[in-house]
């Protein structure tokens, strides 16, 4: 029996096992974040918890600590590569297959079996074979098409496609039951291509006599390849607008349960979510994938030299171990697809083994793997797939490319042929390979597919996309990279064809350099690499694309960036021919395209699926933002203004397309063709952003081309709206002044020519010089300069009976933001057209001197204007009596008991804002009160908030469950707010039900703001509730609270009131002077000790005075000296104890010269 009492799990999750937690021989113990729910599902299991934290989806380390905190075991799992990817959201758990095997090694884990847990389900639906209105698609083939939305497996059977089910009811599938097909082969009359090409006929687990389709996908389905298709029986044609009935049986196995089906091209499309059982894995019992002996663990493998020459031997070295000892290791190798030869590996000690492969001829590709056998005769392989793995090297000469990094992509001849086969060029399925980087780092078993458009993949311009094992990321960061081998040379005239060549695109390099220099534009930092490809025609310089717009990029640019959906807006590339000339042949690479603009295609997301390709978060399959974007683009007039503002970040769109207008690519949206644009749904607010993509056709148009871009798209009229055109001009001006100019471009253009060997520097420099000059020339004509000004009442002072005023004025295109009265936060500004603006400014009673400061995109001042507005409006009750009295903005983190209630809580979940009614006799309605600044989303209180009674306090909280866990049910909670309060400080603003400002202030976390309210566990509290609201920005009117975690909903103890009589007086100092120095209640400065620094803190920080101020009137002067000497205790010998009022300023109980020294040394005496 094992006693786990006070052992713990750490790192990814945190949990300490309670005293008395014991496990007997063969016992299984489940640790969960939700014991109640898991116990309902598995009542017989032994369950403990909840743990704190969560297991990451990508990779995470879990550590087991003994009762002394020493590590007893640890596992660092990953989400693919050597680790079984089916456990990464595929419905399976990770199971250790042998309890005696090293659980730090990926090969000793498998995903749990899910076949036994799943069952057959029947699905049926009817749909009309109609092409959605506005969707432009081809209709050359008559096919039924299926595919999974992501990697996964399922069994399928009994497909039926019935045309006119209520009439003639004709079956249109020739092989829907797979009964005559051979097990292990693809079914007849079906073509499974791309990442679905592993699909085969299999045996029904419930009926060995029944043949079924095992649909296997290694990635998302799409239209150019990567799906399964079957031509309709009897050469039947799909009849437009006719009703069809689809039915089939399905049994989910792993991965994506989302089965997409359609009639060519996008008719009767439907995504069916196949049933997934909710009890998967083997919690609380023996692992289903366990084996008696997993064989030895192989920890590392490498070969040297990484790139041997013809006369070089190659030494393969591995590290291996096993609890039963390693009896034998063998190295198997094959040369250029020949049969494998076996070599014994010699033991070098310390678990290291080595064997040497003899020299091979130049150009030979050698594949190798290791077999390890333990003392019990059990064997294992490394890499795990043995002959099907791809640990390779090629015999070759050194590469002499000093100006760039080098990559060698090594593949077997058969794999390379399969990769480039006509029917496979559009495949997103990957072939195995080995990558050698700079001849110094090797990556075995990478996955390779071709990369380029449907046209570019068919020859020497084809690029490659390479996927890495997550345990060995490229440059330690990237799970995949792309190598782009196509370079385009433009003439810069706006007409005629561009010329293409293989190599690294200097166009893209320079264009993205300009974007990054300008800022505020999504762009990439590409590198240049020399690629030694499996075929000589694909060897040479290329662009090394790393982060691209993957999660690595999104997470670095946006909060929770990977949670935002990313869509690639594309043309539909389609094939017009098959490899054998028959409709039932495999399709050739695309040879034609059709376009659909961004527009409203209806409410069904299937209409958008193939023009807006979802690149991430495919399980969510959420197209709602794209549908609303289409609705906005298809609207007109004021409705379009409203819809585009709600769904788009218009400023970001205008900056992106202003940039594209400057660099002139012909092959992107609004610049020539309806594609090559990435659309990103920002998680923060759900708005769609525009990311440039594939800009290698840059500098195509004449430098004197339309400064708004060629247009011709549904975006063009949106750009043309005056307020949007103004944004566009603003960004043109900023980019030209700061990035798109001769000074910035010249050194980069020359550098890229040197690195790539493509001589385009002079062309780029001349083009940018001419284009920048032309844009500035046109801006002078279409947007002449004028000063920033207020035009309300012709700029003269005026009066209003309102509590706010909408000021109007004019601003040139350089105005980006406006601030009021020296504030640090820009105010909302409404541009009525390309010159006129409106700003709403709150007013206080009486005269209001309003100063407006205008700033450009870089934050430089570009104008000032001021006006005086007198308000005669009476204050509302909310303005008079509603105040913020306490602010917890940097709350302490959760305690174990709190995490038991809210498992994933952080300190921010415990933040709160306390409101108080300062009236003595007037109840205060809260209906309509708004918190407009502070947390990320505006909070509006409705009638349910009720009212605050005189003197009553109530709170707004970040997380209600967390708040209740810490503070109980007594404090009154008005509402939860969205977002959080920034620890570094931010603007807090309350407005009343009429939109009039109640109060606003901007707190901070550094002196002179009370620093103990910044993460030390104390709240920020208002000293005096009667403080005028216009003084709330003064740090001196605030204090740090005196109670850890704050006092939400109740009045706070008065800081410094140590005798608790409700007032601050000299007797409070005397209480501290006589306090026990071990009583941490008197540790006022929170340094964990009670000493003279606490007295100094009490006098100077709490009472805000100085030593010597006997009467606490705020200053040390002659009146204090008169008072202490009148008390008559100076150097008294009669045993009387002196107090603060009688001159004891150093707390020694006496009044003597040392007290006068303390007071005068402070330097605060006022003569």
- CA distance linking residue 777 with residue 705, whole number of Å: 12
pLDDT attached to residue 399: 95
Shared domain check, 757 and 622: yes
Helix (H) / strand (E) element for 751: namely: helix 742-756
Residue 464 lies in a domain: no
Strand ranges inside 580-676, DSSP E: 592-594, 612-614
pLDDT attached to residue 937: 77
CB atoms under 10 Å from CB of 72, counted, come to 12
Query: Is the Cβ–Cβ distance between 931 and 913 less than 8 Å?
Result: yes
pLDDT attached to residue 108: 97
Using only the alpha carbons of the chain, give its radius of gyration: 36
Question: What is the mean pLDDT of the segment spanning 437-447?
Answer: 98
Shared domain check, 1016 and 884: yes
Residue 69 lies in a domain: yes
Residue 546 lies in a domain: no
pLDDT attached to residue 547: 94
Shared domain check, 914 and 865: no
Query: Is the Cβ–Cβ distance between 148 and 260 less than 8 Å?
Result: yes
Query: Is the Cβ–Cβ distance between 780 and 729 less than 8 Å?
Result: no
* Residue that wins the pLDDT comparison between 1061 and 564: 564
pLDDT attached to residue 1053: 73
Instruction: Assess whether the previous peptide bond of 50 is cis (omega < 30° from 0).
Output: yes
Across the strands, what pairs with 267? 263
Shared domain check, 744 and 597: yes
pLDDT in tens, 505-527: 999 999 999 999 999 999 999 99
Query: Is the Cβ–Cβ distance between 1103 and 1145 less than 8 Å?
Result: no
Q: What percent of the chain has pLDDT over 70?
A: 100
- CA distance linking residue 287 with residue 99, whole number of Å: 10
* DSSP secondary structure letters along 855-872: E-TTS-EEEEEEEEEEE-
pLDDT in tens, 964-990: 999 999 999 999 998 889 999 999 999
pLDDT attached to residue 698: 95
Q: Are strands 846-855 and 861-871 parallel, antiparallel or unpaired?
A: antiparallel
Q: Name the residue range of residue 242's domain.
A: 121-273
Q: Which of 53, 151, 4 is nearest to 906 (CA)?
A: 53
pLDDT in tens, 1056-1066: 778 877 677 88
Structure-derived torsion over alpha carbons of residues 521, 522, 527, 531, reported in degrees to the nearest 10: -140
Q: Which of 1098, 1105, 1089, 1043 is nearest to 1070 (CA)?
A: 1098
Shared domain check, 867 and 881: no
Report angle CA 369, 371, 375 to the nearest 5 degrees: 160
- CA distance linking residue 879 with residue 776, whole number of Å: 49
Residue 754 lies in a domain: yes
Specify the 3-state DSSP secondary structure of 645. helix
* DSSP secondary structure letters along 215-276: EEESS---SSSSEEEEEPGGGPPP-TT-EEEEEEEEEEEEE--EEEEEETTTEEEEEEE---
Shared domain check, 163 and 50: no
Q: Are strands 930-933 and 405-410 parallel, antiparallel or unpaired?
A: unpaired
The CATH code of the domain that includes 687 is: 1.10.1070
Q: Which of 431, 494, 484, 489 is nearest to 453 (CA)?
A: 484
**How far, in Å, are 833, 1101, 1165 from residue 1140 at the CA level?**
68, 17, 16
Residue 1072 lies in a domain: yes
Query: Is the Cβ–Cβ distance between 262 and 223 less than 8 Å?
Result: no
Residue 1061 lies in a domain: no
Contacts of 541 by beta carbon, 8 Å cutoff, 6+ apart = 404, 502, 503, 504, 528, 529, 530, 531, 756, 757
Question: What is the mean pLDDT of the segment spanning 948-977?
Answer: 94
| Burial of residue 873 (number of CB atoms within 10 Å: 0-12, 13-18, 19+) | middle
Token look-up 């299926």 returns: 146
Strand ranges inside 129-231, DSSP E: 143-148, 152-163, 170-171, 190-193, 200-204, 207-217, 227-231
1131: left (phi over 0), alpha (psi -120 to 50) or beta: left
**With bands split at pLDDT 50, 70 and 90, how would you rate the model's confidence at 1134?**
confident
What 1093-1096 contacts at long range (C-beta under 8 Å, 24+ apart), as own/partner pairs, is 1095/1069, 1095/1147
The CATH code of the domain that includes 21 is: 2.60.40
Helix pair angle (637-647, 624-634), 10° resolution: 150
Shared domain check, 1031 and 912: yes
Shared domain check, 931 and 855: no
Return the half-sphere exposure (C-beta side, CA atoms, 13 A cut-off) of residue 332. 17
Of 232-246, 740-754, 938-952, the one with minimum mean pLDDT is: 938-952
Token look-up 């708005």 returns: 687
Query: Is the Cβ–Cβ distance between 707 and 732 less than 8 Å?
Result: yes
pLDDT attached to residue 471: 97
- CA distance linking residue 287 with residue 94, whole number of Å: 9
DSSP character at residue 608: T
The two three-digit tokens of residue 251, written as one number: 């049994």
Shared domain check, 742 and 810: no
Of 239-248, 280-289, 292-301, 646-655, the one with minimum mean pLDDT is: 280-289
The two three-digit tokens of residue 862, written as one number: 């570009």
Query: Is the Cβ–Cβ distance between 965 and 897 less than 8 Å?
Result: yes
> How far does CA 86 lie from the centroid of its chain?
23
Instruction: Assess whether the previous peptide bond of 1005 is cis (omega < 30° from 0).
Output: no
- CA distance linking residue 542 with residue 509, whole number of Å: 11
The two three-digit tokens of residue 878, written as one number: 């909310």
Phi/psi at 437 (5° precision): -105, 125
The CATH code of the domain that includes 795 is: 2.60.40.10
* Ranges of H-type helices in 464-605: 506-518, 551-557
Asked if the model's pLDDT at residue 353 lies above 90, the reply is yes
Q: Which of 498, 597, 564, 611 is nearest to 265 (CA)?
A: 611
Size (the chain), residues = 1167
Instruction: Assess whether the previous peptide bond of 638 is cis (omega < 30° from 0).
Output: no
Q: Are strands 227-231 and 190-193 parallel, antiparallel or unpaired?
A: antiparallel
- CA distance linking residue 1122 with residue 1106, whole number of Å: 17
Shared domain check, 1091 and 1072: yes
**With bands split at pLDDT 50, 70 and 90, how would you rate the model's confidence at 896?**
confident
The 3-class secondary structure across 306-373, one letter per residue, is CCCCCCCCEEEEEEEECCCCEEEEEEEEEECCCCCEEEECEEEECCEEEEEECCCCCCCEEEEEEEEE
Give the residue from 728, 761, 782 where a domain finishes: 782
Give the residue from 748, 782, 816 where a domain finishes: 782
Phi/psi at 150 (5° precision): -155, 180
pLDDT in tens, 1091-1106: 889 899 888 877 778 9
Give the residue from 782, 800, 824 where a domain finishes: 782
Shared domain check, 265 and 145: yes
Question: What is the mean pLDDT of the segment spanning 20-34?
Answer: 94
Specify the 3-state DSSP secondary structure of 529. strand
pLDDT in tens, 268-289: 999 999 999 888 889 999 999 9
- CA distance linking residue 654 with residue 728, whole number of Å: 5
Residue environment code for 813-850, b if the CB has 16+ CB neighbours within 10 A, otherwise e: bbbbbbbbeeeeeeeebebeebbbbebebbbbeeebeb
pLDDT in tens, 236-265: 999 999 999 999 999 999 999 999 999 999
Question: What is the mean pLDDT of the segment spanning 818-829?
Answer: 90
Q: Are strands 861-871 and 798-800 parallel, antiparallel or unpaired?
A: parallel
Residue 728 lies in a domain: yes
Shared domain check, 163 and 105: no
Residue 292 lies in a domain: no
CB atoms under 10 Å from CB of 959, counted, come to 20
Please tell me the total count of domains within the chain. 7
Specify the 3-state DSSP secondary structure of 448. strand
Report angle CA 278, 280, 282 to the nearest 5 degrees: 140
- CA distance linking residue 23 with residue 9, whole number of Å: 16
CB atoms under 10 Å from CB of 643, counted, come to 18
Q: pTM here?
A: 0.84
Asked if the model's pLDDT at residue 1081 lies above 80, the reply is no
Mean of pLDDT over the chain? 94
């Amino acid at each position: 029996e094992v006693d786990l009492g006070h052992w713990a799990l750490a790192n990814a999750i945190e949990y300490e096992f309670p005293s008395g937690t014991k496990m007997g021989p063969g016992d299984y113990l489940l640790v969960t974040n939700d014991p109640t729910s898991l116990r309902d599902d598995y009542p017989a299991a032994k369950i403990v918890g909840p743990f704190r934290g969560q297991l990451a989806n990508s990779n995470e380390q879990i550590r087991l600590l003994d009762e002394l905190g020493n590590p007893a075991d640890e596992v660092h799992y990953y989400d693919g590569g050597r680790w079984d990817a089916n456990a990464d959201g595929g419905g399976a758990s990770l199971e250790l297959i042998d309890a005696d095997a090293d659980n730090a090694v990926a090969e000793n884990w498998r995903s749990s079996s899910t076949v036994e847990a799943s069952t057959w389900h029947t699905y049926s639906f009817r749909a009309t074979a109609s092409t959605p209105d506005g969707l432009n698609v081809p209709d050359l083939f008559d096919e039924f098409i299926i595919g999974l939305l992501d990697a996964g497996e399922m069994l399928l059977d009994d497909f039926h496609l019935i045309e006119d089910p209520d009439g003639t009811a004709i079956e249109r599938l020739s092989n829907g039951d797979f009964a005559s097909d051979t097990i292990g082969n693809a079914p007849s009359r079906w073509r499974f291509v791309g990442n679905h090409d592993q699909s085969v006929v299999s045996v029904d687990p419930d009926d060995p006599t029944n043949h079924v389709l095992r649909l296997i996908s290694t990635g998302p389905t799409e239209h150019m390849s990567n799906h399964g298709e079957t031509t309709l029986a009897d050469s039947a044609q799909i009849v437009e607008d006719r009703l069809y009935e689809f039915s089939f049986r399905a049994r989910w196995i792993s991965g994506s349960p989302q089965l997409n089906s359609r009639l060519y091209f996008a008719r009767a499309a439907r995504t069916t979510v196949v049933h997934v059982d909710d009890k998967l894995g083997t919690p609380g019992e023996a692992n289903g994938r366990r084996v008696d002996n997993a064989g030895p663990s192989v920890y590392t493998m490498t070969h040297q030299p990484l790139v041997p020459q013809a006369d070089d031997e190659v030494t393969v070295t591995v590290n291996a171990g096993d609890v039963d000892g390693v009896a034998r290791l063998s190295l198997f190798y094959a040369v250029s697809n020949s049969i494998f030869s076996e070599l014994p590996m010699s033991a070098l000690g310390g678990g290291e083994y080595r064997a040497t492969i003899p020299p091979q001829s130049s150009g030979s590709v050698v594949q190798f793997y290791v077999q390890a056998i333990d003392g019990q005769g059990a064997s294992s392989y490394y890499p795990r797939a043995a002959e099907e793995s791809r640990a390779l090297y090629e015999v070759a000469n050194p590469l002499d490319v000093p100006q760039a990094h080098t990559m060698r992509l090594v593949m077997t001849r058969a794999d390379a042929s399969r990769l480039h086969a006509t029917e496979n060029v559009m495949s997103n399925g990957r072939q195995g390979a080995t990558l050698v980087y700079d001849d110094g780092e090797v990556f075995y078993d990478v996955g390779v597919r071709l990369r380029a458009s449907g046209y570019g993949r068919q020859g020497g311009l084809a690029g490659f996309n390479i996927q890495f094992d997550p345990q060995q990321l490229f440059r330690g960061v990237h799970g995949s990279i792309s190598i782009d081998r196509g370079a385009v040379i433009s003439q810069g005239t706006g007409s005629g064809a561009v010329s293409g060549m293989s190599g690294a695109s200097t166009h893209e390099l320079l264009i993205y350099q300009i974007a990054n220099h300008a800022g505020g534009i999504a762009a990439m930092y590409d590198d240049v690499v020399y690629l030694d490809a499996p075929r000589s025609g694909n060897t040479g310089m290329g662009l090394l694309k790393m982060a691209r717009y993957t999660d690595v990029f999104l997470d670095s640019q946006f909060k929770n960036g990977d949670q935002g959906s990313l869509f690639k807006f594309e043309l539909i590339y389609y094939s017009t021919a098959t490899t054998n000339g028959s409709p039932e042949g495999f399709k050739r690479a695309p040879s034609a395209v059709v376009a659909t603009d961004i527009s409203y295609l209806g409410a069904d997301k299937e209409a958008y699926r193939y023009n807006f390709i979802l690149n991430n978060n495919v399980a969510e399959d959420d197209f709602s933002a794209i549908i609303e974007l289409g609705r906005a683009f298809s609207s007109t007039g004021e409705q379009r203004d409203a819809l585009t503002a709600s769904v788009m970040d218009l400023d970001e769109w205008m900056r992106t397309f202003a940039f594209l207008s400057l660099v002139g690519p012909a092959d992107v949206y609004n610049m020539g063709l309806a594609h090559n644009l990435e659309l990103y749904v920002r998680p923060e607010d759900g708005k769609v952003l525009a990311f440039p993509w594939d800009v290698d056709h840059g500098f195509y148009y004449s430098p004197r081309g339309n400064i708004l871009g060629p247009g011709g798209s549904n975006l063009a009229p949106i750009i043309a709206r005056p307020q949007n055109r103004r944004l566009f001009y603003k960004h043109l001006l900023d980019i030209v002044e700061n990035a798109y100019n001769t000074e910035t471009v010249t050194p980069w253009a020359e550098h890229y020519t040197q690195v790539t060997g493509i001589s385009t520097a002079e062309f780029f420099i001349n083009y940018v010089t001419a284009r920048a000059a032309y844009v500035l020339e046109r801006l002078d004509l279409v947007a002449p300069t004028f000063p920033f000004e207020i035009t309300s009442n012709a700029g003269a002072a005026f009066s209003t009976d309102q509590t706010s005023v909408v000021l109007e004025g004019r601003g040139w295109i350089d105005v980006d933001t406006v601030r009021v009265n020296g504030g640090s936060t820009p105010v909302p500004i409404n541009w009525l057209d390309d010159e006129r603006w409106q700003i709403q400014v709150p007013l206080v009673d009486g005269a209001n001197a309003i100063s407006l400061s205008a700033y450009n995109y870089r934050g430089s001042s570009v104008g000032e204007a001021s006006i005086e507005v007198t308000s005669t409006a009476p204050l509302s009750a909310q303005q008079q009596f509603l105040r913020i009295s306490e602010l917890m903005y940097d709350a302490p983190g959760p305690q174990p008991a709190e995490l038991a209630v809210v498992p994933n809580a952080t300190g921010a979940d415990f933040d709160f804002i306390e409101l108080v009614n300062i009236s003595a006799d007037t109840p205060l309605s809260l209906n309509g009160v708004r918190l407009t600044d502070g947390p990320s989303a505006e909070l509006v209180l409705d009638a349910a908030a009720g009212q605050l009674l005189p003197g009553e306090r109530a709170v707004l909280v970040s997380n209600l469950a967390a708040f209740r866990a810490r503070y109980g049910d007594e404090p009154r909670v008005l509402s939860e707010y969205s977002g959080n309060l920034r620890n570094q400080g931010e603007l807090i603003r309350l407005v009343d039900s009429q939109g009039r400002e109640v109060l606003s202030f901007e707190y901070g976390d550094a002196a002179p703001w009370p620093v103990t309210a910044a993460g030390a566990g104390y709240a920020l509290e208002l000293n005096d509730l009667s403080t005028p609201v216009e003084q709330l920005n003064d740090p001196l009117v605030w204090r740090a609270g005196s109670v850890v975690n704050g006092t939400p909903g109740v009045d706070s103890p008065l800081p410094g009131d140590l005798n608790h009589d409700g007032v601050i007086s000299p007797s409070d100092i005397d209480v501290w002077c006589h306090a026990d120095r071990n009583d941490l209640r008197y540790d006022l400065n929170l340094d964990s000790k009670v000493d003279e620094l606490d007295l100094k803190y009490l006098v100077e920080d709490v009472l805000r005075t100085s030593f010597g101020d006997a009467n606490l009137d705020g200053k040390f002067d002659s009146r204090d000296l008169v008072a202490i000497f009148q008390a008559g205790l100076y150097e008294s010998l009669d045993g009387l104890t002196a107090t603060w009022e009688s001159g004891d300023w150093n707390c020694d109980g006496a009044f003597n010269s040392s007290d006068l020294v303390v007071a005068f040394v402070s330097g605060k005496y006022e003569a």
